[in-house]
Structure 1
Amino acid sequence: MRFLCDVMLGRLARWLRLAGFDTLYDAAAADANLATTARAEGRWLLTRDRRLASGAGPRVVLVRAVSLADQLAEVGERLPLAAAANRSFSRCPRCNGLLKAAARETVSRRVPPYVAAHAPEFRLCQDCGQVYWPGTHVPRIERRLAAILGGGGPLGGGEDEGHR
């Protein structure tokens, strides 16, 4: 399942990416282009804009919720997210690129020394080059995604927002 989020749903886009969904988000994209892009690429358009939703066609979800948890739950009520969420932590939450395993030697100069020495694994975004590793926040993210998406068990490796 693929998504395109409008400018008002940036946090939702990031969390859909964490759950492994191919999710486009461009804060500068014009509304007129969003529906066209979504149709052309077979994506679900997620929007908070009633006017955009009314003219976007059948593959649109008008998101009324304000909080992130409620937004995820609302999209999950409309679409089978739980059935499709099986690749958590496989996409870059920043740019949507695919994450690939990276050798410690490849990323050691791009992460803090303690992380370079002790992190069990690293992932590298194939598009933007961002480095991720499982931090202490990963279990919290996994629990939140599992609760919202109805999944059980671990959701994958991890990413760290404290990267550099």
Structure 2
Amino acid sequence: MLNKRTFLAGIALAALSACGRRIKPYYGPQVTRLVIYKEKRRLYILHGAEVIKEYKIGLGGNPVGAKQFVGDGKTPEGSYFIDRRNPNSAYHLSIGISYPNKEDVARAAALGQNPGGDIFIHGQANKHLGLGNDWTAGCIAVTDAEIEEIYAMVPLGVQIDIWP
């Protein structure tokens, strides 16, 4: 019986250590802002005015224009902040964007629509490889390795500006 317990404890420890390797600690400059340029398909991570890191991104399946309502396939445009983290994302890892803001809600209401929500920067979980650049429902996609870096770098509350 002791051997079985030791074996199970070893498996549990290995599983926990594998999860720990998923997110490496970040020791660089404090991230103060994220900027996305949709047309360029780029995400810039900044410390003040200095670009710390740049990533190529994928967007919603209908990338031109600002998100207006659920199901339009667009990525939002405007100023938001990082408001949540999901280590158990279906897309490897994800960090949440505070969409919709008051203006987004008012714009959707004027159209008689629901503005939607659940906009994230997330990985691909490898199952979306080869789908082209713009395959999300309005989120911002990077590779799984890149979302691991971003997840470690970006704390809650950081401003994110999304430009056309």
Q: TM-score, normalised by structure 2?
A: 0.22
Answer 1 or 2: higher relative contact order, Cα 8 Å, separation at least 6. Answer: 2
Write 1 or 2 for the structure with the bigger share of helix.
1
The structure that has the greater radius of gyration is: 2
